[in-house]
Amino acid sequence: MQDQASLVAVLNSTWFASGLEPGIQTRLAEFSRTFTAEPGQELFREGDESKLFGVVIKGRVALRTHVPERGDFTILTVEPGDVYGWSALVPPYRATSTAVAIEAVEAITFEGPALRAALREDAALAQALYPRVLVAVARRLNATRVQLLDLFAAEQVRTW
Amino acid sequence: MVISASRSPRGSRPAIEGPGFLARADLQVLFDLLREDGRRLIGPTVSDGSIIYDDITSVDQLPRGWGDEQSPGRYRLRRRGDERLFGYVVGPTAWKKWTFPALIPLTRSTHDGHKVSFEPEQATAPKLAFLGARACELAALGVQDRVLIGTEFIDPDYMVRRANVFVVAVQCTTSASTCFCTSMGTGPEVTEGFDLSLTELDAGFLVDAGTPAGRAVLERLPLRAATAAEQYGVAATVAAVRARIGDPVPTDGLHDRLLAQLDHPRWAQVAERCITCGNCTLACPTCFCTTLTQTTDLSGETALASRSWDSCFSPGFAKVAGGSFRARPRDRYRQWLTHKFATWWDQFGTSGCVGCGRCITWCPVGIDVRDELNAIAPPVPLSPESRLVEPVAATPNEFVTARVVNTKAETADTTTLTLTGVDPAFSHGSTGQFAMVALPGFPPLPISISRFLTDGIELTIRGAGPATKAMCALQVGDQVGLRGPLGNNWPLDRAVGRDLVIVTGGIGLAPLRPVLHAIVADRRRFGDVKLFYGARTPADLIYRDELERWGKRDGIDVSLTVDRAGPDWSGRVGIVTHLFDQAVWDGSNMIAFVCGPERMMQAASTTLAGRGVSASRIHVTLERHMECGIGLCGHCQMGKYFVCRDGPVFSIAQLGDTFGREGI
């Protein structure tokens, strides 16, 4: 996964980055790194500065939130092809949950500040990448709404 | 018909109860009676090496002692070595030659200067008697009645001809290798559509009447009452014919199975053999397609439009100015077969095939429609999963009882009850069916059957209200009341040879569990099977042992997800549609079964449609308020359906825009 060509190939295999123009993929690969995590390893913590934007290639990352006196809840798992750390692209650049590898994880990551600078300078890159980020975040937002409906609850949940 | 009755037939001898016996030597009396009534007699006779139907006047013209041998593309007469007059099967002629002739004049038109005029030909018909119509042929006449005079617009020529026919049926005492009336439900027993019926014995015939006109003739025949031995002998002979034919084309689900296979490679393969000659359609007793031909005189002033039989195998049959809609032989073969066995049902409420086998025998290249059907739309072996049984205690006031022999807590609020001492109808129920379950003092509730056992069933019940909580609290030894099994089933037969996607959430896995059992029992008949199952939390997953077994041992691709989880859960967290919304699939060969809350089924259906699965192959099971379970109480109505009786399993295409619509 080290050389640029293989990074491009790996990126292209994910739904997030597949079909991007070759020039954009090469540009992305320039400041991307491969990243691995052991099961149990924490990737970032809720409230901390969000430094890495990543695409999961293998394994599973749990996004957790902590409720005092109730403990940690996994609210979503990030699966191969999906992104994590989108908060590295959106002010105030703070992680909105705690990410923990629950299986051995391979990912491709981008340094937040470097990616932001590149997106500011390179309109073509921004034009190609932002819609993908928006799709990923919108998909997650939709899922969160469905989860909020609590459809599998035994009785209709009244929230008002 | 009206027989001139100058003397009271009952006055001449006592009336015979039940069938009468007519000696072979007296058959000519029947001929003469029918001819006396002004009828031309059409019956079997040997001509050009085959037994055809033609004008006859004498018993001597019948094919005495002749039988036939038939197989795909082959027909031969053979000597039987006895004196039987009807010891053959069916030949190349169909009765439609007289009720729906191959060529009739339709309209005469003239051109006089600027004026044109059109004069319809008046339909006329001779009085005929058909002698020797077999059960399949009676059914064929019935099919053409539905097509030509059974709808809003009628064919006047057919109507007149048909009304002038007296039908003497002959029950089959022999069969050919090409016969499949048993599969099509048309024979060999003669049951309706005749005036008189004959069944041949060594010395004569058992005679019965099917109409008052037939009764009037029967009473003038020199009959004696048939003996019990004769009646038994006839029944045994016809039963032997039925047994010999067997069930070559299982028709359970054939309509859907066939229409699900429009892209089967076999269509192209059979088209390599088919020479599109149209022999099958000409020999077919139900084919009714025609074409118009204009014949003009030399001046061009008068013209005659004639109607003649056409065939959907003709190259020009579906032609328009821009070309033909069915240019390739494979298109024409598919049109013919799917019309006969599937879309005919949709148009006329009956099969277009009666199982006479003529298209097999008279196909010059010996294409056997039974083989094609079984290859293109293979039958599902009759198993508990593919056939609906008669429910027990069907009416809402009766129940049968069953005893709890095991209880298993699936989750904090959901229990699986194993019941035995159940009426056998339940063990023979079908995947997706439900039972009305009752405890004294509580309203009976529809509960999906979550497992079929040889001597019982399982019900998985979530204690949501007082009645379900009482059911979940049942202990081993307790009894419950049951009615059922009710409702329709998952179309497992349509999943054979396809990839199957099962999407389910919460307790929605319960009605799909028997589907998984059926697949595991016969895994090779199905393609890839994927199970996507979502629950509220890891603790809400039901059938956990089985989920593991299906995934690890039984070749089913099991994916689980939950809406929320504690840190000890290492599986997926998220919504069930995210398990496959990014998948790269060939949805064209997939069929999907979906069960869960309606909002979830909607999301799953939309996502599946986006993956290329057609609406007619996405099936959901609906939950509605049900009290009777048999379409009488009216509670579960949804659009044009009663969910209990017409469902609970529906395709998205069936439901249309009622699915997921609020307030329906």
Q: Are the C-beta atoms of B573 and B566 separated by less than 8 Å?
A: no
Question: Tokens 């073509």 label which residue?
Answer: A124
Domain with B357 in it: 254-376
CA distance A107 to A58: 7
Can you give the C-alpha Rg of chain A in angstroms? Answer: 17
CA distance A110 to B479: 64
Q: Is the pLDDT of residue B18 over 80?
A: no
Task: Examine the fold and report which residue of B432, B452, B486 is the final residue of a domain before the chain moves on.
Answer: B486
Q: Cβ separation of A74 and B505 shorter than 8 Å? A: no
Query: How far away is chain B from the Cα of A58, in angstroms, using its nearest Cα?
Result: 14
Task: Examine the fold and report which residue of B452, B467, B486 is the final residue of a domain before the chain moves on.
Answer: B486
Is B74 a member of any domain? Answer: yes
pLDDT reported for residue B635: 85
Q: Are residues B349 and B275 in the same domain?
A: yes
CA distance B380 to B260: 14
Q: Is the pLDDT of residue B382 over 60?
A: no
Identify all chain B residues contacting A74, using CB atoms and an 8 Å cutoff: 564-567, 569, 573
Task: Say which residue, A12 or A90, is predicted with more confidence.
Answer: A90
pLDDT reported for residue B46: 96
Is B145 a member of any domain? Answer: yes
pLDDT reported for residue B16: 59
For chain A, the average pLDDT equals 88
Q: Are the C-beta atoms of B35 and B57 separated by less than 8 Å?
A: yes
Question: Closest chain A residue to B595 measured between Cα atoms?
Answer: A152
Mean pLDDT on B621-634: 86
Q: Are the C-beta atoms of B575 and B564 separated by less than 8 Å?
A: no
DSSP B28-64: HHHHHHHHHTTPEEEEEEEETTEEEEEE--SGGGS-T
> How many Cβ atoms sit within 10 Å of the Cβ of residue A92?
7
Question: Closest chain B residue to A153 measured between Cα atoms?
Answer: B536
Question: Closest chain B residue to A139 measured between Cα atoms?
Answer: B578
pLDDT reported for residue B224: 92
- Within 13 Å and on the Cβ side, how many CA atoms surround B445? 23
CA distance B528 to B557: 8
Q: What DSSP element (H or E) covers A78?
A: strand A71-78
Mean pLDDT on B325-331: 90
Q: Cβ separation of A155 and B573 shorter than 8 Å? A: no
What residues pair up with A140 in beta bridges, in sequence order? none
Task: Examine the fold and report which residue of B190, B211, B245 is the final residue of a domain before the chain moves on.
Answer: B245
Peptide bond into B250 cis (omega under 30): no
Q: Are residues B455 and B555 in the same domain?
A: no
pLDDT reported for residue A154: 65
Q: Are residues B477 and B509 in the same domain?
A: no
DSSP letter for B122, please: P
Read off the pLDDT band of B325 (50, 70, 90).
confident
The token pair at A133 is 């980020």
Q: Are residues B95 and B219 in the same domain?
A: yes
Identify all chain B residues contacting A155, using CB atoms and an 8 Å cutoff: 464
Residue B577's CATH number: 3.40.50.80
Q: Is the pLDDT of residue B208 over 50?
A: yes
Query: How far away is chain A from the Cα of B584, in angstroms, using its nearest Cα?
Result: 10
- Within 13 Å and on the Cβ side, how many CA atoms surround A15? 14
Identify all chain B residues contacting A72, using CB atoms and an 8 Å cutoff: 566-567
pLDDT reported for residue B67: 95
Give the torsion sign (CA, B493, B497, B503, B508).
positive
Q: Are residues B138 and B272 in the same domain?
A: no
Instruction: Please give the share of chain B, as a percent, with pLDDT higher than 90.
Output: 69
**pLDDT 10s digits, B345-370:** 989 989 999 999 999 999 999 999 99
Question: Closest chain A residue to B598 measured between Cα atoms?
Answer: A151
A-B interface: how many C-beta pairs under 8 angstroms?
73
Q: Which of A61, A77, A142 to mutate to test the interface with B (most CBs of B within 10 A)?
A: A77
DSSP B447-512: EEEEEEETTEEEEEEE--SHHHHHHHT--TT-EEEEEEEES----HHHHTTSEEEEEEEGGGGGGG
**B293 Cβ partners below 8 Å, 6+ apart?**
B305, B306, B307, B308
Q: Are residues B448 and B499 in the same domain?
A: no
Q: Is B540 on the interface with A (CB under 8 A)?
A: yes
Of A93-97, B98-102, B427-431, give the lowest mean pLDDT range.
Answer: B427-431
Is B320 a member of any domain? Answer: yes
- In the three-class reduction of DSSP (H, G, I as helix; E, B as strand; rest coil), residue B77 is classed as strand
Identify all chain A residues contacting B463, using CB atoms and an 8 Å cutoff: 154
Q: Are the C-beta atoms of B111 and B81 separated by less than 8 Å?
A: no
Q: Are residues B366 and B404 in the same domain?
A: no
For chain B, the average pLDDT equals 90
Q: Are residues B513 and B451 in the same domain?
A: no
CA distance B176 to B244: 9
The one-letter code for the residue type at B344 is: W
Q: Are residues B336 and B235 in the same domain?
A: no
pLDDT reported for residue A2: 56
Q: Are residues B306 and B432 in the same domain?
A: no
- CB pairs under 8 A, 24+ apart, for B466-471? B466/B442, B467/B439, B467/B442, B467/B443, B470/B439, B470/B442, B471/B415, B471/B417, B471/B437, B471/B439, B471/B445, B471/B447
Is B292 a member of any domain? Answer: yes
Quick one: which of B284, B278, B277 has its CA closest to B96? Answer: B284
Q: Are residues B203 and B220 in the same domain?
A: yes
CA B506 to chain centre: 36
DSSP letter for B288, please: -
Give the torsion sign (CA, A152, B476, B428, B452).
positive
pLDDT reported for residue A160: 47
Identify all chain B residues contacting A73, using CB atoms and an 8 Å cutoff: 564-566
Is B663 a member of any domain? Answer: no
Question: All domains of chain A, ordered by start, with CATH?
Answer: 34-149 (2.60.120.10)
Is B48 a member of any domain? Answer: yes
Q: Cβ separation of B572 and A77 shorter than 8 Å? A: yes
> How many Cβ atoms sit within 10 Å of the Cβ of residue B83?
12
**pLDDT 10s digits, B549-605:** 999 999 999 999 999 998 889 999 999 999 988 888 888 889 999 999 888 999 999
Identify all chain A residues contacting B604, using CB atoms and an 8 Å cutoff: none
The angle subtended at Cα B532 by Cα B636 and Cα A156, nearest 5°, is 45
**pLDDT 10s digits, B409-427:** 999 999 999 999 888 888 8
Q: Are residues B575 and B596 in the same domain?
A: yes
DSSP letter for B381, please: P
Three-state helix/strand/coil letters over B614-649: CHHHEEEECCCCCCCCCCCCCCCEECCEEHHHHCCE
Is B576 a member of any domain? Answer: yes
Is B111 a member of any domain? Answer: no
Identify all chain B residues contacting A149, using CB atoms and an 8 Å cutoff: 599
- Within 13 Å and on the Cβ side, how many CA atoms surround B500? 29
The token pair at B181 is 């009336």
Mean pLDDT on B364-388: 79
Number of domains in chain B: 4
Q: Are the C-beta atoms of B559 and B531 separated by less than 8 Å?
A: yes
Query: How far away is chain B from the Cα of A98, in angstroms, using its nearest Cα?
Result: 11
pLDDT reported for residue B381: 56
